[in-house]
Structure 1
């Protein structure tokens, strides 16, 4: 009896010694994993791009000066430089109701969720299982071979992958960069939606001005037609003068209707940008005409920080660089530490008792010895994806500089064109005045008057079109420089 107790004590000591060695091995592996971890793959450095010292079209001749202060503006409220209160009200609805902006916001939230998934890989995973099975026993102990046996078990299983080579860290780095790119995409979608709204709104205001011009012209042509008919009935003018006057009136009326159609389409486009059905949206006509602001373009180097599309391209480039490390980490063994603690018995009644407890704990080091070239192909693909992102980033920078230069030269030359057009308009209006006097004096036919009036109408409409082009070029420049130039530029962490 004493000998049996001594053997049981010896067996228990042996089991405890084995458990102690297992725990020591596990803690040694954990210590090595914490001390020896390193991230494979290249560290990210933003590639250099050719940034000019100044814009080519931002010459001294343009005399760019900031617009006069118009009260407090919200940060980034670049549209307020056009000085239109109704436009300011519409812009506020874009961030809430525009569906393209909402789609970009959803994509950003999706990127944040992917980031949290990547970060979760740094922590152990713990699973619980409750199982019940019945099968034929092979025969052992008191259970004869071929007898049916039930097995009940409950267990907790935990596993953790040591990030020895930085695979998990590079995945997190890539997800963080993609989340930042998603944030930049959201800002880009908001900037584009606002710019498109401003463009449509300003064009609608110009169309309103053109409609007022044509309404005034139609009224003048009606009076001219009455005068011509009276002169014809008095035998002073010929039938051709009446026909000419009537043709001029009907042509102008048709052009006025075309402007009405154009305004309706612009109103529908604005409604869609605001996320509203066109049937329930309308804009009242306003006589005030927005003026193009004078916009200093700033330094070319600031463009890399202001433009959302450049920021998004740069962050995607950083994500592609991190994925190179993920691909290269597959060449090294993966260390996983797993442990299980549970109970197993043939009945639930005595399941959670010490004699039926079982546990296991130990590391697993796994390395793929042959994969048919999968890892090398994945690495080559990651390198190619990075090269593509670099090319797209540099192209984004080039396109940004081109858009700024285009807007600058357009604004500079249109300002001169507007001055010349005003001179042409003044001359055309003077020609109308002289033609009317000559017609009433009977020295010229109505054709001379109609020609002068047509030229004056065309000159005034051209003046409005040039004004619209200046407004649109101002919007294009504000969009090209990434919004309001008065916002200070703050460099992003990790961008270099």
Structure 2
């Protein structure tokens, strides 16, 4: 009987040779994968029948698009609200979690290209008739699937492209949230100013009722005038309640975007955010290259391309290698003298698909169709992106002209109302004429406020459509993955 030796692991020349041979084999036989299409190639394929103009049809500066559009509004409270929303908005948390999932998928895909190393241990006892059950010990095992045709590299590259697309989605979610907060802030400011207008109109109606009663006392008024003044006051009071409701709804919408309880407790200013100066719009191709949603669409085309390559490589033979080294217990050695304390093994497994009933070719067809969908989706998004910029540029010009016209109309309406009230006070006009002038003034003031707020909102839409960032400059785009490397 041989003396027992301590069960310790030592360097194993055989295992090293197997690992070295495996590495050399993978280098010698690994097939390079096809490179992903570049952004310009995706644009050429998706927009092959679309003539992208060199400049915007609306009048705009072709200078480089500015970053940091939020600072252009010069509204410290708006800036604070945007950053608060970025910290607390649940929808943005979801987008962030999806980015974490995409990063984890990349780690999983990259792990498939590396050897798997593990320890196998066994211990137990059974009757002597079952000799195998007496074999107890520990074995170090190594397994490695050789990526001969690039299937796993295609899968890794697809995971990376999907991760990049998810990252672009996250950046677009941030920009969209900042834009939504700005729009909601403008609406809250507009309804706050409408509250002041409504209060002024109620006060004017109360004064008009007092004048009606005074005119009747001196014998130049009638009960009908008083009833009409009271009806007018009730109408303005009702409008005031409607504006109050709209203001509270606007505050709740803004508080939800901030991730706060919608209690309508946020204080707003008594004036609209100042309108910023002109915006450089660049050229149409700049918008397609800058916008995060377009970057995401382009990276999804690249991911679909890699999945087609992965499906095609799955139709080719596969090769897996494994090796093991360990020691078995002395109990078995006492029963069988021909068993050694140390054991080592190597194995190679080849899988050659001969007939799968069309499953593999069907998978290629599925992935090819998905790639076509991704290309078509890029084309659809590109056309929408160009249309959004054109609409925003045109709206900026039209709303500026409307604001000028309505500003003149509101000023004239205020003067006309004041003159009509003076005429009624001295008995040169009737109550119906005063009410009509007040309604006209109210409509003119509300219309002016609406256009001013709409112009601010459309300016935000323009920044979003152009791909301008609301804060610091956007992060540098990820370097395209080199797809011709060996595992």
- Coarse TM-score class (shorter-chain normalised): 0.7 to 0.9
SS at match of 2:331: coil
Which residue of 1 is the match for residue 57 of structure 2? 56
TM-score computed with the length of structure 1 as normaliser: 0.85
479-488 or 368-377, larger mean C-alpha shift: 479-488
Which residue of 1 is the match for residue 10 of structure 2? none
Which residue of 2 is the match for residue 38 of structure 1? 31
Q: 1:200 aligned to 160, 171, 184, which one?
A: 184
1:383-402 equivalences in 2 (<5 Å): 383-402=368-387
Instruction: Say yes or no: does 1:180 pair with 2:180.
Output: no
Consecutive unaligned residues in structure 2, runs of 5 or more? 1-12, 483-487
Which residue of 2 is the match for residue 167 of structure 1? 151
Which residue of 1 is the match for residue 423 of structure 2? 438
1:117-196 equivalences in 2 (<5 Å): 117-132=108-123, 150-196=134-180
2:139 and 2:62 map into 1 onto residues whose CA distance is 74
1:149 and 1:295 map into 2 onto residues whose CA distance is 80
8 Å contact kept, 2:134–2:331: yes
SS at match of 2:123: strand
Instruction: Say yes or no: does 1:413 pair with 2:406.
Output: no
Cα deviation 1:365-398 (Å, max 9, x = unaligned)? 2211111111101111111111111111111111
Instruction: Say yes or no: does 1:291 pair with 2:292.
Output: no
Which residue of 1 is the match for residue 9 of structure 2? none
1:447-462 equivalences in 2 (<5 Å): 447-462=432-447
8 Å contact kept, 1:411–1:473: yes
Which residue of 1 is the match for residue 210 of structure 2? 226
8 Å contact kept, 2:62–2:283: no
Instruction: Say yes or no: does 1:475 pair with 2:460.
Output: yes
Cα deviation 1:278-301 (Å, max 9, x = unaligned)? 23x622232232123232222211
Instruction: Say yes or no: does 1:334 pair with 2:318.
Output: yes
196-205 or 43-52, larger mean C-alpha shift: 43-52
CA pair 64-226 structure 1, distance change in 2 beyond 3 A? farther
Q: 1:307 aligned to 282, 285, 291, which one?
A: 291
1:154 and 1:268 map into 2 onto residues whose CA distance is 65
Q: Name the larger-Rg structure.
A: 1
Once the two structures are TM-superposed, the CA of residue 29 in structure 1 deviates from its matched residue by 5.0
Once the two structures are TM-superposed, the CA of residue 175 in structure 1 deviates from its matched residue by 0.9
84-93 or 336-345, larger mean C-alpha shift: 336-345
Once the two structures are TM-superposed, the CA of residue 256 in structure 1 deviates from its matched residue by 1.2
Which residue of 1 is the match for residue 301 of structure 2? 317
Which residue of 1 is the match for residue 97 of structure 2? 106
CA pair 199-24 structure 1, distance change in 2 beyond 3 A? closer
8 Å contact kept, 1:42–1:324: no
Once the two structures are TM-superposed, the CA of residue 95 in structure 1 deviates from its matched residue by 1.8
2:97 and 2:473 map into 1 onto residues whose CA distance is 26
Which residue of 2 is the match for residue 5 of structure 1? none
Q: How many correspondences in the alignment? A: 458
234-243 or 426-435, larger mean C-alpha shift: 426-435
8 Å contact kept, 1:111–1:178: yes
8 Å contact kept, 1:306–1:483: yes
1:64 and 1:132 map into 2 onto residues whose CA distance is 76
Which residue of 2 is the match for residue 14 of structure 1? none
Cα deviation 1:202-236 (Å, max 9, x = unaligned)? 11011111111111221122111111111012211
SS at match of 1:493: coil
8 Å contact kept, 1:39–1:325: no
Consecutive unaligned residues in structure 1, runs of 5 or more? 1-18, 68-74, 137-142
1:148 and 1:231 map into 2 onto residues whose CA distance is 118
CA pair 434-146 structure 1, distance change in 2 beyond 3 A? closer
1:307 and 1:88 map into 2 onto residues whose CA distance is 22
**Which gives a bigger RCO, structure 1 or 2 (Cα 8 Å, sep 6+)?**
2
Q: 2:252 aligned to 245, 268, 272, which one?
A: 268
SS at match of 1:278: coil
8 Å contact kept, 1:41–1:328: no
2:179 and 2:251 map into 1 onto residues whose CA distance is 15
CA pair 191-376 structure 1, distance change in 2 beyond 3 A? same
CA pair 27-435 structure 1, distance change in 2 beyond 3 A? closer
